[in-house]
């Protein structure tokens, strides 16, 4: 992995030329392709990644795939919509699956789980260290703070859990498709950057300095280190500094394993069996972020399957344009103040203009990224709270 670099957001400008037809994203072909083993849904916060992930997983299971969906979203909506009392770090079976119209759910199944960041970190330590060493690390106050709240730990542990599930599935055949709902984050693709950031932290100069006492008495007694630790004692307190030094000394033997697994999972995400879906809303900021995701995935050679635009405004019925509807509404209001028909015509005009604005935004995205297949999912009247709602979303994703 290359060192994370600061990247600028792409901007949408005026269209230089009218884009050609946008290729449709064939969701069912993606789900039915047995060569696809991992689907990663990514995008900025609040665009429906969790619902999209769950709907894709359900549709794939009902089309015959053995699926597990891993969500990082702390909301309870996914568990509730799948009829599960709670989700945790253990896959839970989802009941109520049915065959589709073709009746091809032979052997299909669906499990769901929610990432427990600290428990996943603990499992990694327990699997890599001796029982005595693991106990020393797990009980260390600095480790407890790091594994619970350190920036980037959630994203890193999402990759760890993905690697674990994939390795287990390869060994026992439990799943042939893993659907990942990436963490909501302000910075695009923190999911990919987290291993590099965590590695940089654990391999940084400050940590190396803290590790120095464990590497040799001579360095510990150096005047320079004494001055530094004296200053840190005043800022952090002697006990905090000792906890940090004890943690780093114990953790150092595991560090190489962390890096190795992170690199292996990163390569897994680049493999042909992985497909990234960028999820966005039909809004300028969300599509600008989607453009950044697409470009970043290309830079990291991640296999992009397409773009999903959620919650698109439904196209109003009728053939009246927005201007025609507004003109007719104005004429009616003059003749019949308070006319219900005039109000309905105005609503039609507003809805038509909203649809036109969203279409223009998608055209601008397509002009910049004409090769990205796209699926547009219209907004539903209410929230998704059960399997029927997820099933309906899956149908809309597939263009039904």
Q: At what angle do helices 238-270 and 131-138 cross, to 10 degrees?
A: 110
Give the tokens for residue 87.
């989700």
Res 382: pLDDT: 81
Neighbour-count burial for 312-342, b at 16+ CB within 10 Å, e otherwise: bbeebeeebebeebbebbeebbeeeeeeeeb
Under a CB-based contact definition with an 8 Å cutoff, are residues 279 and 393 in contact? no
Structural domains of the chain ordered from first start: 27-313+355-397 (3.40.50.300)
Give the tokens for residue 394.
């899956």
Rounded CA-CA distance 114/96 in Å is 20
Choose among 190, 156, 148, 189: nearest CA to 262: 156
Instruction: Determine which helix (DSSP H) or strand (DSSP E) holds 307, and give its type and residue range.
Output: strand 304-312
Rounded CA-CA distance 249/197 in Å is 20
Res 117: pLDDT: 81
What's the pTM?
0.79
Distance of CA 33 to the CA centre of its chain: 21
Under a CB-based contact definition with an 8 Å cutoff, are residues 180 and 70 in contact? yes
Under a CB-based contact definition with an 8 Å cutoff, are residues 319 and 56 in contact? no
Under a CB-based contact definition with an 8 Å cutoff, are residues 71 and 61 in contact? no
Around Cβ 345, how many Cβ atoms within 10 Å?
Answer: 23
pLDDT in tens, the chain (400 residues): 443 343 444 434 433 344 456 689 999 999 999 999 999 999 888 898 889 999 999 999 999 999 999 987 656 667 777 877 778 888 999 999 986 555 555 678 999 998 888 888 888 888 888 898 889 889 988 788 777 766 567 777 888 888 889 999 999 999 999 999 887 665 546 667 766 666 666 565 555 555 555 444 444 444 444 444 444 444 444 566 677 667 776 666 666 666 777 778 888 999 999 999 999 999 999 999 999 899 989 998 999 999 999 999 987 877 888 888 788 878 888 888 878 888 888 888 888 898 999 999 999 999 999 999 999 999 988 888 889 999 999 999 998 7
- Output DSSP code: residue 89: S
Instruction: Determine which helix (DSSP H) or strand (DSSP E) holds 162, and give its type and residue range.
Output: helix 153-172
Rounded CA-CA distance 82/387 in Å is 6
Beta bridge partners of 180: 40, 70
Res 344: pLDDT: 87
The CA distances from residue 83 to 118, 179, 385, 397, in Å, are 25, 18, 9, 22
Choose among 65, 91, 66: nearest CA to 78: 91
Rounded CA-CA distance 151/204 in Å is 15
Res 349: pLDDT: 85
Instruction: Determine which helix (DSSP H) or strand (DSSP E) holds 264, and give its type and residue range.
Output: helix 238-270
Given the structure tokens 């990163």, which residue do they identify? 266
Under a CB-based contact definition with an 8 Å cutoff, are residues 180 and 162 in contact? yes
Rounded CA-CA distance 74/114 in Å is 8
């Amino acid at each position: 992995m290359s060192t994370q670099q600061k990247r600028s957001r792409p901007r949408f400008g005026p269209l230089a030329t009218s884009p050609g037809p946008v290729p449709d994203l064939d969701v069912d072909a993606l789900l039915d392709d047995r060569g696809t083993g991992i689907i990663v849904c990514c995008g900025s916060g609040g665009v429906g990644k969790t619902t999209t992930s769950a709907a894709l997983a359900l549709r794939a299971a009902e089309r015959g795939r053995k699926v597990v969906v891993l969500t990082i979203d702390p909301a309870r909506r996914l568990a509730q919509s799948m009829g599960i009392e709670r989700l945790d770090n253990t896959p839970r079976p989802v009941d109520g699956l049915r065959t589709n119209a073709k009746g091809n759910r032979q052997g299909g199944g669906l499990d769901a789980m929610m990432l427990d960041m600290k428990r996943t970190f603990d499992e990694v330590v327990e699997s890599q260290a001796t029982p005595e060493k693991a106990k020393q690390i797990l009980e260390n106050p600095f480790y407890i703070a790091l594994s619970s709240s350190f920036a980037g730990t959630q994203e890193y542990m999402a990759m760890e859990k993905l690697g674990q599930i994939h390795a287990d599935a390869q060994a026992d055949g439990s799943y042939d498709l893993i659907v990942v709902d990436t963490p909501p984050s302000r910075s695009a693709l923190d999911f990919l950057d987290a291993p590099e950031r965590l590695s940089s932290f654990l391999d940084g100069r400050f940590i190396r300095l803290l590790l120095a006492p464990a590497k040799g008495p001579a360095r510990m007694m150096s005047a320079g280190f004494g001055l530094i630790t004296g200053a840190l004692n005043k800022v952090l307190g002697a006990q905090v500094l000792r906890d940090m030094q004890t943690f780093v000394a114990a953790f150092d033997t595991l560090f190489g394993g962390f890096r190795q697994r992170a690199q292996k999972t990163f390569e897994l995400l680049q493999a042909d069996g992985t497909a990234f879906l960028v999820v966005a809303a039909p809004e300028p900021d969300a599509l600008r972020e989607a453009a950044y995701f697409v470009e970043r995935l290309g830079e990291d050679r991640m296999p992009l399957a397409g773009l999903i635009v959620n919650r698109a405004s439904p196209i109003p019925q009728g053939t009246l344009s927005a201007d025609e509807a507004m003109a007719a509404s104005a004429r009616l209001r003059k003749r019949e103040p308070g006319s219900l028909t005039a109000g309905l015509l105005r609503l039609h005009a507003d809805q038509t203009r909203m649809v036109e604005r969203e279409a223009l935004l998608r055209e601008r995205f397509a002009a910049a990224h004409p090769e990205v297949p796209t699926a547009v999912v219209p907004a539903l009247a209410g929230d998704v709270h059960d399997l029927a709602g997820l099933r309906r979303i899956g149908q809309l994703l597939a263009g039904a």
